[in-house]
Amino acid sequence: MRTFAYSSLLYCLLLELTVAITYLKKAAKTPETETATAQQVVTTMLADIQTHGEAAVRRYASDLDKWSGAIIVTPEEIAANAREVPAQVKADIDFAIAQVSQFAQAQRQSLSEFSTELHPGVTAGQRVIPVNVAGCYAPAGRYAHIASAYMGVATAKAAGVKTIIACSGPFRGGPMHPYLLYAFNKAGADVIMTLGGVQAIASMAYGLFTGKPADVIVGPGNKFVAEAKRTLFGKVGIDVFAGPSEIGIIADETADPDIVASDLVGQAEHGHESPAWLFTTSRSMAEAVMQRMPALIEKLPPTARDAAGSAWRDYGEVILCDSRDEVVEVSDRYASEHLEVHTSELDWWLARLTCYGSLFLGEETTVAYGDKASGPNHVLPTKGAARYSGGLSVHKFLKTLTWQRMTREAARDIGLATARISRLEGMEAHARTADDRLAKYFPGERFDRGTPVEV
């Protein structure tokens, strides 16, 4: 047995694993490296925007994104844009939206309202109600994040959110990417704004340009967007505490090293800080994957090659375990955003793995399918957050609210218990709210309501 540093979470955590593992490749860096810088930048920007409002947002849009055009996209611009989108592009986006919407609607149906009698005369229940305003962000940086547009908006729509505000920045110096704009609108956004980065998150949170502050803000973004959401959490709800995209792959001797390597590269393409991890019981398979990685990265176009090359060099890991039980333990510690399983006996892994953002069982599926078109949402927890949370779902836009009602006769038992417990806690005013009802509903009766608080 040995102790190893959980390098994917080197934000000052050292985790002890009681398993025998061997690093065939270990990460040199952690995605936490630039967090402090992002925090400083975001704190300054949010304070400026909160003080100066839309003027500050326009200034940041101009300085950071070189955008001085209108913030809110008009219906006429949306319609004109749609006419220019090729038919096949529309068909593909429409198909993906339908998949995401169908899955989100099934999630919504899994939540039910109910009422139940807890005690004679005491009825309590649950309502499931959508938030009023949702802010949905899609990044506009290295790539045109079309899928991010419908992942947020279509899911909020399925939840029944009344007002959906969508934001994405100018694409490579021009207006919003036309296909992304089409996706926002087709998925059901009510307001679409050409804004990116911290200024977009702040505008949705504070209700700038729309007069409708968001109750919940969702969507992926760079470290500044992630930090803005983290800082604003509490003022607004958010989907997940997000970091660079991650992939973990569990593979055994039955896995195809060509497919495994392809999938690792496919996610490393996201950015320079995107971890790619391979957990395996097969040394020969692991070595075959590592041998293939450089050539696959080299064949990518320049933007993707630069990102994937840096990600694999600095954040890639290959961990060899003695048994599949040990793989489960290691994988659960890493809590990968995306977790693929390329093994025999897939149901065995499904029954035992507990920490992941989304699970992809078998060679036939891949993270890219989930990212774009299969149905489950692609906004998922990173940096170990899958240990305690899931990804974006229709539930993020819903509130489960409780209610209760009781008869006067029921107030006898509930009131007596409340009065006595309140006095044990030292909360006399609480107790007297029960006393007053007992005196009103049962005049002349004597009750043991506990010893009155005197201190």
Query: Residue 438: how many CA atoms within 13 Å on its side-chain side?
Result: 19
Nearest to 334 by CA among 318, 313, 310, 345: 318
Per-residue CA distances from 33 to 92, 160, 198, 336 (Å): 38, 39, 19, 19
DSSP 8-state assignment for residue 31? G
Catalytic, 337? Answer yes
Residue 286 corresponds to which tokens in the numbers above?
Answer: 């692991």
Query: Residue 349: how many CA atoms within 13 Å on its side-chain side?
Result: 26
Which ranges constitute the DSSP H helices of 175-282?
Answer: 178-187, 197-206, 223-232, 257-268
Q: Is 93 exposed, middle or buried (0-12, 13-18, 19+ CB in 10 A)?
A: buried
Q: Which of 338, 340, 363, 378 is catalytic?
A: 338
Q: Which amino acid is located at 129 in the chain?
A: I
Catalytic, 270? Answer no
Q: Contact 255/360 with Cβ under 8 angstroms?
A: no
Q: Which of 227, 269, 317, 337 is catalytic?
A: 337
Q: Contact 393/155 with Cβ under 8 angstroms?
A: yes
Q: Which amino acid is located at 314 in the chain?
A: D
Active site residues: 337-338
